[in-house]
Each structure stands twice: as C-alpha cells, then as structure tokens.
Amino acid sequence: MRPSALRPQQTPPREPELAGPFPPDLHDVRHLWLKAVLLAVWVLASFVATYFARDLRDIVVGEWPLGYWIAAQGAVLVFIAIVVVYAWAMSRFERQDAQSAASATAAEGRHPAEPRRGG
C-alpha cells in the first residue's frame, strides 16, 4: 500500500468570502453621485458638443472654425478637468472619512493607535 493512501486528505483553509471585488465603503452615495455627474459632463462634452460643433463653422477663431476647436480641443480639456475634479473630490472625501473616524474613536474614549481590548 502506498503511504499517501494512509494519510487523510487535507483541504486548504478557506479564505473569508468578500461582498465583491471592492469594499462596500467605495460605493458610498457621495462617490456614486460624483461619478454620475462627472460622467454626464463627459457625455455632454464628448458627444453633444461635438455633434453640434459643425453648426459653429461660421465663427472663425485663428483661421479655424470654432466647431473645430470645440470638437478637437475642448473635449480633451474637459476630460482633463474631469480627472482633476475627481481627484480633488476623492481626496476631500477621504479627509472627511478620516475626520469622522477620528471623532468616532475619540467618542469611544481611546486613542486611534490603541488596539481594542476585551471582547
């Protein structure tokens, strides 16, 4: 008889199941509203403005029609602004969350670096 047949099969320990690929606090209502508003601005700048840009061909700026500047350059500048606004807002949300967590630990009467005792 082979030695492996005598040993019981060991299964690896299971990892705890997560709710999804992201922690639930990343889907806070503030974050979802921010993403929805910035997505709407992106759609307006990318599709709506460029669709109506050909109507602005009579207005000339620097030897090029205004529609060209809106379609070729304006959408890119708006996208860069969206990225900057998103980064600023997420940084602000993180600061607010850190402040609320610090005030919650202060309300419990313990230092934030101090581990919880008892149980």
Provide the residue count of the chain.
119
| pLDDT, position 35 | 93
Quick one: pLDDT band at residue 8, thresholds 50, 70, 90? low
Per-residue model confidence (pLDDT) at position 99 = 87
* pLDDT tens-digit readout, 104-113: 788 877 655 5
Q: How far is CA 82 from CA 29, 48, 77, in A?
A: 19, 16, 9
Tell the residue number behind the tokens 């005792």, with chain if given.
Answer: 117
**Residue 50 confidence class, pLDDT cut points 50, 70, 90:** confident
Q: Residue range 9-13: average pLDDT?
A: 68
Q: What is the pLDDT of residues 66-112, one digit of tens each?
A: 887 877 788 889 999 999 999 999 999 888 888 888 887 888 776 55
